[in-house]
Amino acid sequence: MKKIYGCFLFLFFGVSAIAQISAVEWYNKGKKLQGEKNYKAAIDIYKKAIEKDNNFFDAWYEMGWCQNEITNYNDAVLSLTKADQLKPGMSSVIFELGYANEKKGSYSDAIFNYRKCAIINPNYASAWYHKGWCENQIEIYDSAYYSCINAVEISAVYREAYDELGFACYKLKKNEEAINAYRQSINLDPSKSAGFNGIGDVFKSNYKNYDSAIAYYNIAYEKNPRNKKAPYSIGWCLNEKGKFDEAIPYLKNALALDINDNNTRTELGYAYYKLKNYDDALFQFTLIMNSSSTDELSRYYAGFCYYLKDDQYNLKRMIDQLQNINTTNSLRYVETLKKYIK
């Protein structure tokens, strides 16, 4: 009995001691774990601090910061929203909230947060940059241009901001500005591929100068052979130049880097189709059709392949599928393919 009683006293006093730990003490333990990059454990400890004091601003903020670090963006939004309610107008809190929204794909919410952050602290270059990045994502290129201009005016060595500025200019057809922005990015770090890819895009899409585009994409490919953009873009340009044999190896390389990329597979199928290698073309188009019930180009070019193989049954099948997709483009493709029904 005495032994059991002693254990009971030990447990009682142990639990009592834990119960007496203050919110600040829990917070300090969390900060120590956070400093050691043990973010999950830190979050658990910050929760204990908040249990003691639900209005503990620092605990809410640091917990949200840690949740961003472990990519738990939904919870980060909740924590940082609470922190913002407790101390409105803190640019660091609003920036982290914007970052959480950005990472979870809530770009409009993120833009709202970053705009608010930049109003509070107009010299916050990262807020302007991330605002511009999100605006590019939802195709608000005029606003993205303005945001990125602000970012690089505040920090002239902000390479990523030059990339986003270049992209906004490229989309706005401000071609020389786009090239200059991308060149600034390259000057800041010549080892990165983004600036070379960006200049390639300007020459490819805006100037239709495929030789110059290929030259820049080749440099980008050398800088980063694990990124599919350059080999895909080179293959695309070679297809446009009618150099289908040369396009195929680049498109195969791009596809090896992302086996599920239907844009690359479409270009590869198109190259085979133009070389009259209809079976290989149909193999690519069929894979696309199996993965997407609404892909139009694969069915359109497959229809031509079936016609050229004298397969009227499958030609009609492609026409029916395009008819069912029922978009302006698909119906236009239907009218074209119907001309080849015997």
Tens-place pLDDT, residues 160-215: 999 999 999 999 999 999 999 999 999 999 999 999 999 999 999 999 999 999 99
Q: Strands (DSSP E) along 289-335, which ranges?
A: none
Domain residues of the chain, as ranges? 19-88
Distance of CA 44 to the CA centre of its chain: 30
Which helix or strand (DSSP H or E) is residue 230 part of?
Answer: helix 229-240
Confidence of residue 13 (pLDDT cuts 50, 70, 90): very low
Find, among 17, 25, 68, the residue nearest to 48 by Cα: 25
The pTM score is 0.91
Confidence of residue 20 (pLDDT cuts 50, 70, 90): confident
Q: What is the pLDDT of residue 12?
A: 38
Tokens of residue 32, six digits: 């120590």
Is the pLDDT at 257 greater than 60, yes or no?
A: yes
Q: What is the pLDDT of residue 89?
A: 96
Domain covering 19-88, topology:
1.25.40
DSSP state of 238: H
Mean pLDDT of the chain: 95
Tokens of residue 41, six digits: 């454990």
